[in-house]
């Protein structure tokens, strides 16, 4: 095992839980029920982190609210991947002046990737005095200790030390839903794609031990969860830091062996590490969803090289074909960045060509956003925002057309779907997902939430399918 692997052991988490108990005594004094609000930006990993923050807050006696004027504690869990998300966070944090004026004892915490960047932590220190506590992803495991410092010392606390990161087991979790669950299998990223801030703020790849993951998956199945998503920035390199002979495919098999009717999903996969063994495993494991989110980022070999992605478009296309040869019904989704520094008309046409060739079921498209400290931030970027927007709009058109065409192919056919929630609408009151993760709107009894049902697809558009529940 990697000697540098840093583990926050269970005793350290127990010590945090004792702090939770102390805070409980203090904040529930006189039988009062204090309230907390946790607001999450960004990716699924952040959603999973917020479930830990809520877990700790619940142990401290807090109930939950969405109303900042009611909250005694507000935690904003931030994202740093693009500037737009940071601007939204700063705007919303600034607006909390009003709630704090109303409730001067209110504690406001900002955590997550954005504040792990030192210039952002500084900005909050200087320009947002309303914020009492700032902590990065590496300090999340000791949130109770940090919160207690704010409560007892009445001083602002900043905990954003740079770190390669650790693995912490045993943090209490309060999950959002009853049907779908996030399960983090690893943290951090080693890839250093030239545009991406993630490796700088989330540290190096650290895998959780297979036995800890399988135990958590078994608990989820026993609690009735039907849709488990294994999370990591690059799940395909799971286990490489452990040297324990279990790779990502082996992990899928171990979870597939847990008795029960449930689905295994995962994200995100890096094309440089997706192997034939993975596709074989996905095809062989009956609980593994036939969906892969495989971000291509660009179809231009020149751009892929400067992005430091370590594959070319031909390799990507071969992988998609190989994966579909094992699973003809495989849903492939992707991420694409438009307007990477120096991306020319020709580079962009290569991306369009790749999309027409692979025919993604859905694409998540982003305009390049400059991130301080990444190599791409100092690359020449002569094209205007308007040029980039034009490309972005054109790519969206291609993406929407292909998604609509792919969805059309579902019409008239029957599929097993998992009903995952109510929509609040009359006509189609239930939402569900196919095995491949496509959204299906249905009409039916709300008691079906959490159950697998068979549906016939009757209509579709770019974004969703519409179906009728079949009897028997
Ligand atoms: N600008 C735009 N998009 C980015 N992504 C990551 N970094 C940036 C950036 N600097 C996109 C990538 C990644 C997704 C999560 O966000 O497409 O796959
Ligand atoms: Fe960022 Fe690349 Fe790591 Fe994904 S694989 S988190 S894009 S550095």
Residue ranges per structural domain of the chain: 7-159, 172-408, 414-469
Write the burial class of residue 137 (CB in 10 Å: 0-12 exposed, 13-18 middle, 19+ buried): buried
- 3-state DSSP call for residue 155? coil
How many A from CA of 426 to the centre of ligand 2? 41
Q: Which atom of ligand 2 is found nearest the CA of 202?
A: 6
**Residue 140: both structure tokens together:** 């999340």
Q: Based on DSSP, count helices (H) and strands (E) in the chain, helices before strands.
A: 14, 21
Cβ < 6 Å from ligand 2: which residues?
A: 189, 191-193, 196, 198-199, 233-234, 270
For residue 30, name the pLDDT band (cuts at 50, 70, 90): confident
Q: Which atom of ligand 2 is found nearest the CA of 270?
A: 5
The whole-angstrom separation of Cα 183 and Cα 310 is 27
**Residue of 6, 13, 25, 24 lying closest to 52 (CA atoms):** 13
150-176, pLDDT tens digit by residue? Answer: 999 989 999 998 888 889 999 999 998
For residue 206, name the pLDDT band (cuts at 50, 70, 90): very high
Looking at CATH, the fold of the domain delimited by 414-469 is given as: OB fold (Dihydrolipoamide Acetyltransferase, E2P) (2.40.50)
Mean pLDDT of the chain: 96
Q: Which CATH number describes the domain made up of 172-408?
A: 3.80.30.20
For residue 4, name the pLDDT band (cuts at 50, 70, 90): low
User: For helices 345-358 and 385-408, what crossing angle results, to 10°?
Assistant: 10
Closest-approaching ligand to the CA atom of 335:
1
**Residue of 342, 344, 338 lying closest to 377 (CA atoms):** 342
Region 93-117: what's the mean pLDDT?
Answer: 96
Q: Which atom of ligand 2 is found nearest the CA of 81?
A: 1
Give the sheet arrangement for strand 227-231, strand by strand.
180-184, 227-231, 263-267
DSSP string, 399-455: HHHHHHHHHHTTTT-EEEEEEEEE-S-SSS-EEEEETT--EEEE---GGGTT-EEEE
310-353, pLDDT tens digit by residue? Answer: 999 999 999 999 999 999 999 999 999 999 999 999 999 999 99
Q: How many CB atoms lie within 10 A of CB 424?
A: 6
Pairing mode, strands 157-159 and 167-168: unpaired
The whole-angstrom separation of Cα 224 and Cα 215 is 14
Strand partners, 230: 183, 266
The whole-angstrom separation of Cα 429 and Cα 426 is 5
Residue from 81, 113, 196 whose mutation best tests the ligand 2 pocket (most atoms within 8 A of CB): 196
Nearest CA to ligand 2 atom 1: 196
CA distances from 437 to 39, 78, 96, 129, 330 (A): 25, 26, 37, 43, 10
For residue 467, name the pLDDT band (cuts at 50, 70, 90): very high
How many A from CA of 63 to the centre of ligand 1? 34
The whole-angstrom separation of Cα 254 and Cα 457 is 33
User: pTM for the complete prediction?
Assistant: 0.96
pLDDT at 2: 54
The whole-angstrom separation of Cα 179 and Cα 184 is 17
Nearest CA to ligand 2 atom 4: 233
Pairing mode, strands 414-422 and 452-460: antiparallel
Percent of the chain with pLDDT over 90: 94
How many A from CA of 233 to the centre of ligand 1? 12
**Residue of 295, 437, 310, 463 lying closest to 366 (CA atoms):** 295
pLDDT at 165: 85
Region 18-45: what's the mean pLDDT?
Answer: 95
Rg, Å, the chain Cα set:
23
- 3-state DSSP call for residue 15? helix
Residue from 42, 43, 81 whose mutation best tests the ligand 1 pocket (most atoms within 8 A of CB): 81
**Residue 361: both structure tokens together:** 């079921």
Whether the upstream peptide bond of residue 268 has omega within 30° of 0, thus cis, is yes
Write the burial class of residue 24 (CB in 10 Å: 0-12 exposed, 13-18 middle, 19+ buried): middle
CB 6 within 8 A of CB 164: yes
Task: Give the single-character DSSP code of 471.
Answer: P
CB 256 within 8 A of CB 221: no
Region 389-418: what's the mean pLDDT?
Answer: 98
Scan for tokens 């990716």, then name that residue: 43
The whole-angstrom separation of Cα 233 and Cα 254 is 21
Q: How many CB atoms lie within 10 A of CB 422?
A: 12
CA distances from 304 to 80, 307, 351 (A): 22, 5, 10
The whole-angstrom separation of Cα 117 and Cα 197 is 9
The whole-angstrom separation of Cα 230 and Cα 289 is 11
Scan for tokens 């699924």, then name that residue: 44
Angle in degrees, CA 265, 267, 272, rounded to 5: 125
CATH number for 7-159: choose from 3.40.50.12160, 3.40.640.10, 3.40.50.2300, 3.40.50.2000: 3.40.50.12160
Residue from 270, 306, 309, 376 whose mutation best tests the ligand 2 pocket (most atoms within 8 A of CB): 270
Q: Which atom of ligand 1 is found nearest the CA of 369?
A: 1
252-273, pLDDT tens digit by residue? Answer: 999 999 999 999 999 999 999 9
**Residue 387: both structure tokens together:** 């040029």
Half-sphere exposure of 404 (CA within 13 A, CB side): 8
How many A from CA of 198 to the centre of ligand 2? 6
**Residue of 268, 314, 313 lying closest to 293 (CA atoms):** 268
Region 444-470: what's the mean pLDDT?
Answer: 97
Is the per-residue pLDDT at 362 higher than 70?
yes
Residues 6+ apart with CB under 8 A from 312: 301, 304, 305
Residues in the chain: 472
pLDDT at 472: 58
The whole-angstrom separation of Cα 144 and Cα 77 is 15
Half-sphere exposure of 171 (CA within 13 A, CB side): 25
Is the per-residue pLDDT at 3 higher than 70?
no
Region 238-253: what's the mean pLDDT?
Answer: 96
Cβ < 6 Å from ligand 1: which residues?
A: 81-82, 195-196, 295, 297, 335, 337, 366, 368-369, 371
């Amino acid at each position: 095992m990697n000697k540098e692997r840093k583990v926050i052991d269970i005793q350290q988490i127990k010590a945090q839980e004792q702090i939770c108990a102390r805070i409980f005594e203090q904040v529930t004094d006189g039988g009062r029920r204090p309230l907390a609000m946790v607001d999450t930006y960004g990716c699924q990993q952040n959603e999973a982190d917020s479930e830990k923050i809520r877990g700790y807050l619940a142990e401290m006696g807090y109930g939950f609210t969405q109303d900042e004027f009611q909250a005694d504690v507000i935690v904003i869990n931030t994202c740093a991947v693009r500037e737009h998300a940071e601007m939204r966070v700063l705007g919303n944090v600034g607006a909390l002046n009003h709630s704090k004026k109303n409730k001067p004892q209110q504690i406001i915490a900002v955590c997550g990737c954005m504040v792990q960047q030192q210039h952002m932590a500084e900005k909050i220190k200087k320009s947002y005095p309303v914020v009492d506590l700032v902590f990065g992803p590496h300090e999340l495991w000791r949130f109770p200790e940090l919160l207690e410092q704010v409560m007892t010392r009445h001083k602002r606390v900043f905990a954003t030390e740079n770190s390669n990161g650790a693995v912490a087991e045993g943090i209490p979790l309060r999950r959002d839903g009853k049907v779908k669950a996030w399960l983090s299998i690893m943290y951090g990223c080693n890839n250093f794609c030239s545009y991406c801030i993630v490796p700088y703020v989330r540290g190096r790849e650290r895998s959780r031990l297979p036995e800890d993951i399988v135990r958590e998956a078994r608990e989820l199945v026993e609690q009735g969860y039907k849709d488990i998503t294994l999370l990591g920035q690059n799940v395909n390199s799971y286990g490489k830091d452990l040297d324990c002979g279990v790779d990502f495919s082996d992990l899928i098999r171990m979870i597939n062996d847990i008795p029960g009717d449930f689905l295994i999903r995962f994200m995100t996969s890096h094309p440089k590490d997706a192997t034939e063994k993975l596709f074989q495993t996905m095809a062989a494991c009956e609980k593994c969803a036939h969906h892969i989110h495989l971000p291509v980022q660009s179809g231009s070999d020149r751009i892929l090289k400067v992005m430091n992605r370590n594959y070319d478009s031909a390799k990507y296309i071969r992988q998609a074909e190989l994966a579909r040869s094992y699973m003809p019904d495989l849903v492939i989704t992707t991420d694409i960045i438009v307007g990477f520094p120096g991306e020319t008309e020709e580079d962009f046409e290569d991306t369009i060509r790749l999309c027409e060739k692979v025919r993604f079921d859905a694409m998540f498209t982003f305009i390049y956003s400059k991130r301080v400290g990444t190599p791409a931030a100092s690359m020449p970027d002569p094209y205007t925002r308007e040029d980039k927007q034009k490309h972005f709009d054109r790519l969206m058109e291609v993406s929407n057309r292909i998604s609509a065409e792919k969805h059309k192919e579902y019409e008239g056919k029957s599929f097993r779907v998992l009903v995952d929630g109510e929509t609040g609408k009359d006509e189609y009151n239930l939402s569900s997902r196919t095995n491949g993760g496509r959204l299906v709107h249905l009409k039916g009894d709300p008691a079906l939430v959490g159950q697998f049902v068979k549906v016939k697809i009757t209509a579709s558009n770019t974004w969703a399918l519409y179906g009728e529940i079949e009897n028997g």
